[in-house]
């Protein structure tokens, strides 16, 4: 298979495996803490950073880092709004930031390669970029492994956590920082619009299939890495964009899991919810 012969593809494959595993595991914690919206918002709102780096000819990772920090600060500010609610305030912030990124990209005489920033450019990445992303992803995975017990305490028993020397708020903040790092690592290959797939799809699938945190983490890491391999293989065989291919592979794995386990345990049903309640953002 061509996949194993090309040096570039080999490196990309390695990076995706590490990235997929790290994002998969991270995603499990994000879902348990209900931060999917934050992950999506952060990825979209970082666009201006990417564009500025591209226009200035600076390394993309630098722009990604700056963009993520700015986006995180703005989103944190917006999330505290009490007048229109955090969902709406964050949505406005993300729309504006994303729009700003697009303006910066499309206005100049030599436009930035917006398509690649949005959808990724895995195979156009230099070896340095791939190595850097791989290192960041490995850092994320390492941090999750080291902090495993603190995470468990903070997420599943926040009331008792302080007595165990764990401060839930700090842990949550650290997790969001890891989200930022993982986003930066993944954005080169997947683009800022598709990063979310690798962060959440393997984890969402794992949560349907596994019932203990440990099993979910392992499953999510495996599925994430698997999505990376599968996506890259399909991309090489059928000649489609690599980032989109990986994203589609991840979402497909989730869809399969959803079909296989369409919620075995009925929750306490209660009344019939109106469709807007079901489809809108919960309280």
**Range 226-245, binding other proteins (CB under 8 A):** 238-241, 243-245
- In this chain, which of 115, 124, 142, 162 binds other proteins, going by CB under 8 A? 115
Query: What is the DSSP secondary structure assignment for residue 271, as one 8-state letter?
Result: S
Q: Does residue 275 bind other proteins (CB under 8 A)?
A: yes
Q: Does residue 96 bind other proteins (CB under 8 A)?
A: yes
- In this chain, which of 53, 60, 140, 207 binds other proteins, going by CB under 8 A? 207
- Residue closer to other proteins, measured from CB, 132 or 176: 176
Q: How far is the CB of 267 from other proteins (least distance, A)?
A: 5
Q: Does residue 31 bind other proteins (CB under 8 A)?
A: yes
- Residue closer to other proteins, measured from CB, 120 or 132: 120
What tokens were used for 143? 């941090």
Q: How far is the CB of 165 from other proteins (least distance, A)?
A: 29
Q: Which stretch binds other proteins (CB under 8 A): 54-62, 144-152, 153-161, 265-273?
A: 265-273
Q: Which stretch binds other proteins (CB under 8 A): 6-14, 141-149, 160-168, 189-197?
A: 189-197
Classify the phi-psi angles of 57: left when phi > 0, otherwise alpha if psi is within -120 to 50, otherwise beta: left
CA count, 13 A, side-chain hemisphere, 50: 37
- Residue closer to other proteins, measured from CB, 40 or 172: 40
Contact yes or no for 133/188 (Cβ under 8 A): yes
90 burial (CB, 10 Å; 0-12 / 13-18 / 19+) is buried
Contact yes or no for 186/195 (Cβ under 8 A): yes
- Tell me the angle at which helices 168-190 and 195-209 cross, rounded to the nearest 10 degrees: 120
Q: Which stretch binds other proteins (CB under 8 A): 64-72, 123-131, 148-156, 261-269?
A: 261-269
Contact yes or no for 211/265 (Cβ under 8 A): no
């Amino acid at each position: 298979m061509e996949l194993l012969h090309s040096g570039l593809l080999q490196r990309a494959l390695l990076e995706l495996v590490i990235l997929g595993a790290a994002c998969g595991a991270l995603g499990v914690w994000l879902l348990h803490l209900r931060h999917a919206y934050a992950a999506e918002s952060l990825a979209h709102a970082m666009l201006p950073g990417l564009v500025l780096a591209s226009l200035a000819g600076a390394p993309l990772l630098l722009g990604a880092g700056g963009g993520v920090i700015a986006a995180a600060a703005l989103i944190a500010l917006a999330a505290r709004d009490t007048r229109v609610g955090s969902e709406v305030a964050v949505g406005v912030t993300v729309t504006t930031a994303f729009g700003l990124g697009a303006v910066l990209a499309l206005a100049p005489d030599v436009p930035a390669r917006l398509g690649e920033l949005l959808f990724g450019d895995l195979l156009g990445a230099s070896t340095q970029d791939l190595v850097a992303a791989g290192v960041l992803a490995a850092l994320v995975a390492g941090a999750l492994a080291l902090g495993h017990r603190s995470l468990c305490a903070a997420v599943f028993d926040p009331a008792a956590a302080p007595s165990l020397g764990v401060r839930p708020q700090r842990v949550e903040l650290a997790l969001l920082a890891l989200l930022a790092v993982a986003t930066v690592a993944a954005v080169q290959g997947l683009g800022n619009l598709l990063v979310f797939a690798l962060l959440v799809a393997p984890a969402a699938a794992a949560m349907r299939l596994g019932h203990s945190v440990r099993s979910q983490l392992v499953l999510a890491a495996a599925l994430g890495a698997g999505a990376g391999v599968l996506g890259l293989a399909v991309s090489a065989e059928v000649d489609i964009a690599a980032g989109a291919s990986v994203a589609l592979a991840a979402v497909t794995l989730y869809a399969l899991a959803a079909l296989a386990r369409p919620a075995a345990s009925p929750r306490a049903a209660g009344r019939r919810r109106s469709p807007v309640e079901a489809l809108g953002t919960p309280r």
